[in-house]
Amino acid sequence: MSPRRNFRPLLASLLGLALIGSAGAFSAAQAQTQPLAPDTMAARVQGCTACHGVHGEGTDNDYFPRLAGKPADYLYNQLQNFREGRRKYPPMNYLVTYLSDDYLHQIATYFSQQRPPYPTPAKSNVSPSTLARGQQIVLNGDASKQIPACAACHGKTLTGMQPAIPGLVGLHSDYISAQVGAWRSGTRHAIAPDCMQQIASRLTDDDVTAVAAWLSTQTAPANPVPAPAGSLKTPLKCGSEPQ
Ligand code: HEC
Ligand code: HEC
């Protein structure tokens, strides 16, 4: 793994902590002059929006993912994963440490129902042959390396499948490579059997660059909702998506 890949998330997390700090100071100051905001979900998730956007649309930061429209159980599984340490990003681990399952479920449902517009797809800076390789893996897989098509589980329009497979449109290429890299290096885990861990370990560095670059250039479909549960037969068993 290149030093750049190791350094950038650290920088992002330091930036994030600074944001939380200033957001806290701001609301303390504000609380003295303004009546408390009503206890709506929008008010409760204010601490999340600096990094994930007001409606979970994500931000310009390459490592802060879109949450909006991903299936509720997927988001819920991730919040639990951060709470139990199956995913590691200190600001996220810290924020959910003391939140109950019920509360995490409410947050997950809230963001799954948000429908903010998608960002303009990225203009890629990789070569046309790299993009073509990425498209090939995402849509058709690579049988010679037992890599199934990403679209077989994430859907033809890449908007995911209910109840717990996320969409892959609207994500930055650095975020996608960091997540696949985290599965390969063992810092991200999903409920066993962890199909993404198996798939990630069959991809080379070049494959990861290619799929991440191609995915980040894709436009979301007009109706960007996850496919109905069970509508795709997953080529591997995934613990988070029992069939
Ligand atoms: C300091 C910035 C920051 C704050 C504040 C923050 N997040 Fe995150 N969140 C991140 C980053 C960065 C990731 C990706 C971490 C990784 O590499 O796994 C993430 C990941 C997630 C994921 C998994 C997304 C996915 O597609 O897998 C969920 C769900 C999530 N955050 C929800 C929340 C909620 C709910 C809050 C508020 C309680 C919150 N976040 C606050 C930065 C933040
Ligand atoms: C056998 C089904 C399956 C296939 C094939 C598959 N995925 Fe996944 N993917 C999943 C599941 C299930 C999750 C959710 C795992 C979890 O709960 O953390 C996931 C999650 C992800 C995430 C995390 C998204 C986020 O917001 O953090 C990325 C990135 C991803 N997959 C990329 C890929 C790529 C790239 C391919 C093709 C090379 C691929 N997947 C093929 C089932 C699959």
Distance CA 137, CA 145 (A): 11
Q: Residue 102 Cα, ligand 1 centroid: separation in angstroms?
A: 18
Distance (Å) from CA 15 to ligand 2 centroid: 27
Cβ of 148 less than 6 Å from ligand 2: yes
Q: From the CB of 169, is ligand 2 less than 6 Å away? A: no
Of the two residues 37 and 219, the one the predictor is more confident about is 219
Q: What is the C-alpha separation between 229 and 237, in angstroms, rounded?
A: 14
- Known binding residue 195? Answer is no
Asked whether the beta carbons of 238 and 196 are under 8 A apart, the reply is: yes
Contact assessment for residue 120 and residue 170, using Cβ atoms and an 8 Å cutoff: no
Q: Where in the chain is the domain with CATH 1.10.760.10?
A: 3-112, 128-216
Q: pLDDT averaged over the chain? A: 88
Q: What is the mean pLDDT of residues 2-25?
A: 41
Q: What percent of the chain lies above the pLDDT cut of 90?
A: 79
Query: How much is the pLDDT for 39?
Result: 80
Ligand-binding annotation for 238, yes or no, is no
- Nearest atom in ligand 1 to the alpha carbon of residue 95 is 38
Answer yes or no: are the C-beta atoms of 40 and 98 closer than 8 Å: no
The span from the CA of 238 to the CA of 23, in Å, is 38
* Residue nearest atom 25 in ligand 2 by C-alpha distance: 166
Nearest residue (CA) to ligand 1, atom 36: 48
For residue 36, the model assigns a pLDDT of: 58
Evaluate: CB of 65 within 6 angstroms of ligand 1: yes
Check whether 110 has a pLDDT greater than 60.
yes
- pLDDT for the residue 242: 86
Whether pLDDT at 9 is above 80 = no
Q: Report how far residue 227's alpha carbon sits from residue 221's, in angstroms, rounded to the nearest whole number.
A: 12
Query: Lowest mean pLDDT: which of 50-54, 118-122, 130-134?
Result: 118-122
**The CATH fold of domain 128-216:** Cytochrome Bc1 Complex; Chain D, domain 2 (1.10.760)
Is residue 98 predicted with pLDDT exceeding 50? yes
pLDDT at 153 over 80: yes
Residue 37 — very low, low, confident or very high, per pLDDT cuts 50/70/90? low
Position in ligand 1 atom list of the atom nearest CA 88: 18
Q: What is the pLDDT of residue 30?
A: 43
In CATH terms, 3-112 corresponds, of 1.10.760.10, 3.40.50.300, 3.40.50.150, 1.10.3720.10, to 1.10.760.10
The finding on whether 134 has its CB within 6 A of some atom of ligand 2 is no
Chain centroid to CA 222: how far? 20
Q: What is the pLDDT of residue 57?
A: 96
